[in-house]
Structure 1
Amino acid sequence: MPKTNGILTILSRKPSVNAEQIMKVMPAEIRATVKLYLEGKIQQWFMQADGGGVIFILNCKEVEEARGIIEGLPFSTESLVDEQYIPIGPLLPLGILLDDKKPE
């Protein structure tokens, strides 16, 4: 089984949520995510290009741990976003480049 060294987390605004609802909670969300970043729990974060949400790479090895972090954020506690969790790890086929043996 591949090694998991992070959880890719996608938060997308629910279709029923409008921009005004998001903006009302945004200051608290920003403070909470910056705190998580400074604690080393968020490795990277990005905005979806269409403006529909954010993407975090969390320093977690288990989805349950990532879910516990995200569900404590204001957007999640206010039920404004849908959440996806994807375990990620090293690209294992790169190991072939380090092995002297030729694939059969």
Structure 2
Amino acid sequence: MADPATAQAQANSPTTTGVMVILTVKAGVTREQVMAVIPAEIRQTVQLYLNGKIREWYSRGDGRGAVFLLDSRDVAEAHTIMDGLPLARQDLIDHEYIAVGPLLPLRLLMTNP
């Protein structure tokens, strides 16, 4: 039988239901470099959306990139998706990956006092 502390930790582990990806244009990359690649980037990004891989997408408020919410099992799958896009293949952007899931404290509402 499992150790109760281990079982409790597993019950409280977050479930990954998606991955947020924050894209930032690399320092020193010019607007012209990005714009030369952007038509292909847009086409492939739209195709990912139509294939159900991108759930939501936003422009960053600072104008330096975008934020995607991917329908992904884990960060490794998200890397594979994003690494296939033209801006990443040409090494023009950085990515930050954050696994997300249901808000953990809500589980407390489901337990008996």
TM-score by length of 2: 0.86
Hey, what's the Cα distance between the residues in 1 that align with 2:21 and 2:84? 14
Match of 1:12 among 6, 24, 31: 24
SS at match of 1:90: coil
Amino acid at match of 2:23: L
Does the residue aligned with 1:15 lie in a helix, a strand or coil? Answer: coil
Asked if residue 32 in structure 1 is aligned to residue 44 in structure 2, the reply is yes
Q: CA deviation at 1:98?
A: 3.3
SS of 1:25's partner is helix
Where do residues 1-104 of structure 1 align in structure 2 (5 Å cutoff)? Answer: 1-101=13-113
Q: How far 1:81 moved relative to its partner? A: 0.1
Partner SS for 1:60 = coil
Shift of 1:16: 1.1
CA displacement 1:39-96 (0-9 Å, x = unmatched): 0000000110011001110000111110000000010001000111110010011122
Shift of 1:100: 3.9
> Relative to total residues, which structure has the larger helix share, 1 or 2?
2
Question: Which structure has the greater CA radius of gyration?
Answer: 2
- Work out the percentage of aligned pairs sharing the same amino acid: 48
Pairs aligned (count): 101
Q: Unaligned regions of 5+ residues in structure 2, if any?
A: 1-12
In structure 1, the gaps of 5 or more residues are none
The 2-side partners of 1:76 and 1:61 are apart by: 21
Distance in 2, Cα, partners of 1:6 & 1:100: 29
